């Protein structure tokens, strides 16, 4: 268990992505305050939260050496969109994203408990939504899918038809930039 990789997230999407790459890991979610600091830049925000999650999971007493934390936001016209508070907030977000490009930014951190050091990276993907009709927005909200997703949508699920194109990492939009994460795990010696 000494070199175990621990995912500091309860996100089933992040677990599915690591599983799809054949990574052996355990899950030990971290519960931290995710509020932005005053004047905190979006990239600094996701990197800070990712590292705090990784370190909080490591401090929880879970066996393991490499702790992976991640945080994803949607950026649209300068607004940081996290998870919607309620249906009205989800509707507001989807209306704002309708017909305009936005960015999905995921920060991740891998904390090596043995060496007490972390590697961090932020990955940005540009996403283009089609113009959404009112009934598309209301029926998508009725599915319940938007409520635990940054920006109120999941590209891998019911919102796939809303996305015209992306520029960058698809897995980043899902919630974990897999290519970059695996490379950093290799650099740290967690993977062969």
Catalytic residues, which ones? 71
Query: Among residues 108, 78, 77, which one has the least CA distance to residue 171?
Result: 108
CA gap 121, 112 in Å, rounded: 15
Query: Among residues 13, 113, 10, 34, which one has the least CA distance to residue 67?
Result: 113
3-state DSSP assignment of residue 28: coil
- Dihedral sign for Cα 107, 157, 18, 34, please: positive
CA gap 69, 108 in Å, rounded: 6
């Amino acid at each position: 268990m000494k070199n175990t990789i621990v995912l500091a997230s309860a996100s089933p999407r992040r677990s599915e992505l690591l599983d799809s790459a054949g990574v052996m890991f355990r899950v030990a979610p971290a519960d931290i305050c995710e509020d932005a600091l005053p004047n905190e830049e979006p990239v600094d925000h996701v990197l800070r939260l990712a590292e705090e999650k990784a370190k909080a999971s490591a401090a929880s007493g879970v066996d393991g050496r490499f702790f992976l934390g991640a945080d994803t936001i949607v950026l649209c016209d300068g607004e940081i969109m996290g998870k919607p508070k309620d249906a009205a907030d989800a509707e507001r977000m989807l209306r704002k994203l309708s017909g305009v490009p936005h960015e999905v930014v995921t920060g991740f951190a891998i904390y090596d408990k043995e060496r007490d050091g972390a590697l961090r990276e932020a990955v940005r993907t540009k996403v283009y939504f089609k113009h959404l009709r009112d009934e598309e927005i209301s029926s998508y909200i009725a599915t319940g899918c938007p409520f635990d997703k940054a920006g109120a949508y999941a590209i891998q699920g019911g919102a796939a038809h809303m996305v015209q194109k992306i520029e960058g990492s698809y897995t980043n939009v899902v919630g974990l930039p897999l290519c970059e994460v695996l490379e950093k795990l290799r650099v740290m010696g967690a993977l062969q």
